[in-house]
Structure 1
Amino acid sequence: MIVHDLGTMGYGEAFELQERLLSQVRGGQEEALLLLEHTPVYTIGAGGSLDNLLDPTLDVNRVNRGGDITYHGPGQLMGYPIIDLASRGRDLHRYLRFLEELLVEVSEALGVTGFTCAGRTGVWTTRGKLASIGVGVRRWVSMHGFCLNVSPDTSPFQHINPCGMAGCPITSLALERGAEPAMAEVKELVVSRFAPLLEERLPRCQHP
């Protein structure tokens, strides 16, 4: 597993990098995990409804992932795993549950209790949504991934129905803890847990 810590990067540049790495992984090269923050951007999944954009003057990027409309910006940790799911059982449901479990573990390590909700992909606390997940798969290689709210400005979410849910409250690790965790610490926790949990939940197998 190659980890790319990319700092802050525009959405388009990150998307192009994902596509290049996806082609490489599909060709047999090592899997990758991209960790970064985005400059402010709104994105919407392939099947998302623009009815969930409450301010029509805003630009929204339609992208090839699941899920509805969301916002990304500074203070959010974006994780884009480029994973060969063909060699890991071809089970998208298990992959989504793995990402949720990873984010719950990372949050708990930082003193925040997160949980999942049946029928709603992502991680929540009693205050609101802490992390969102939206993935794309091309020939059983994954792209896109997760967004963990570390210490973002949550006001941009007022212009949308986050993830297609009207009135959805948004929280963060900083709000839950009453103190802002260092992004470097959060990244370190993700990196230390990602590969071991992936091998446990989606172990490699022979291609069918």
Structure 2
Amino acid sequence: MFEVQRLGKVAYQPTWDEQKNMVRALDEGQIQDQLLLLEHPHTVTLGRGSHIHHLLLSTQDYQSKGIDVVEIDRGGDVTYHGPGQLVGYPIFYLDHQKHDAHSYLRDLEQAIILALSSFGITAGRMEQHTGVWVNEEKVAAIGVKFHKARHKKGYITSHGFALNVNTDLRYFSTIVPCGITDYGVTSMSRILGKEVEMDEVVVEVESAMKQVFT
């Protein structure tokens, strides 16, 4: 079982630093698995597979809009984080004999699909694109890093998922989200036609993660 930390609204860089600390602590047996649930201020992140032309504004334009741009060590391309989006960072130990990278990504997708179903939203997967989709629009992005454990066999995860709850989708127009040009993005509030209580989403996501990862 994992411990859940509900952090509220926190800046990106300190949270990334804390993930690194937790990966080390979990590897050394100082803590149990952790799930961080939070919101970030306006931030664009560039994963290891990012292409610079997927940033559609200049550095000065991002600054003028109050958007931080951060190069990070997860897989994947460019994505956006911001208010009204629930971000989850699982710091989990994966025994390589029981849980490989592919199945971990599918389980993250499944947890989000389960959580969305509790709000009456039918979501699913798209074979060629990691994430969770509703009618060919992405409602949740997933990008992770697998750290090879030093003190035991297997891997430890960091980074995770970003679920658009009440996200201002106009910010996605400043990037090519995940490098995908053929499909759009959506949010729970757009699908349901009303604002969604973030606390309720946190509860359902936490519950779904426990169902899938227990």
Q: TM above 0.5, one fold? A: yes
4+ runs deviating over 3 angstroms: none
Q: CA deviation at 1:21?
A: 1.0
Superposed counterparts of 1:53-68, under 5 Å:
53-57=55-59, 58=62, 60-68=69-77
Q: CA deviation at 1:127?
A: 5.7
- Secondary structure of the residue aligned to 2:195 is coil
How many residue pairs match? The answer is 199
Identity over aligned pairs, percent: 38
Unaligned runs of at least 5 residues, structure 1:
200-208
Instruction: Please give the TM-score of this superposition, normalised by the length of structure 2.
Output: 0.89
- Give me the whole-angstrom Cα distance separating, in 2, the residues matched to 1:176 and 1:31: 33
Superposed counterparts of 1:186-205, under 5 Å:
186-199=201-214
Q: CA deviation at 1:112?
A: 0.9
Is 1:169 the counterpart of 2:178? The answer is no
The worse-fitting range, judged by mean Cα deviation, of 96-105 and 55-64 is 55-64
Deviation digits for residues 119-173 of structure 1 (CA, Å, limit 9, x no counterpart): 1000111161100000011111000000000001111111111000125311000
Matching residue's letter, 1:6: L
Answer yes or no: is the 8 Å Cα contact 1:161–1:168 preserved in 2.
no
Matching residue's letter, 1:42: V
Matching residue's letter, 2:85: Q
- Give me the whole-angstrom Cα distance separating, in 2, the residues matched to 1:60 and 1:39: 11
Matching residue's letter, 1:9: V
Matching residue's letter, 2:44: Y
- Give me the whole-angstrom Cα distance separating, in 1, the residues matched to 2:117 and 2:139: 12
Q: Report the counterpart of residue 84 of structure 2 in structure 1.
A: 75
Answer yes or no: is the 8 Å Cα contact 1:162–1:168 preserved in 2.
no
Unaligned runs of at least 5 residues, structure 2:
63-67, 149-154
Q: Report the counterpart of residue 143 of structure 1 in structure 2.
A: 158
Instruction: Please give the TM-score of this superposition, normalised by the length of structure 1.
Output: 0.92
Q: Report the counterpart of residue 3 of structure 1 in structure 2.
A: 4
Superposed counterparts of 1:58-137, under 5 Å:
58=62, 60-86=69-95, 89-126=98-135, 128-137=137-146
- Secondary structure of the residue aligned to 2:185 is coil
Matching residue's letter, 1:71: Y
- Secondary structure of the residue aligned to 1:148 is strand
- Secondary structure of the residue aligned to 2:139 is strand
- Secondary structure of the residue aligned to 2:120 is coil
- Give me the whole-angstrom Cα distance separating, in 1, the residues matched to 2:177 and 2:81: 11
Name the Cα RMSD after superposition. Answer: 1.3
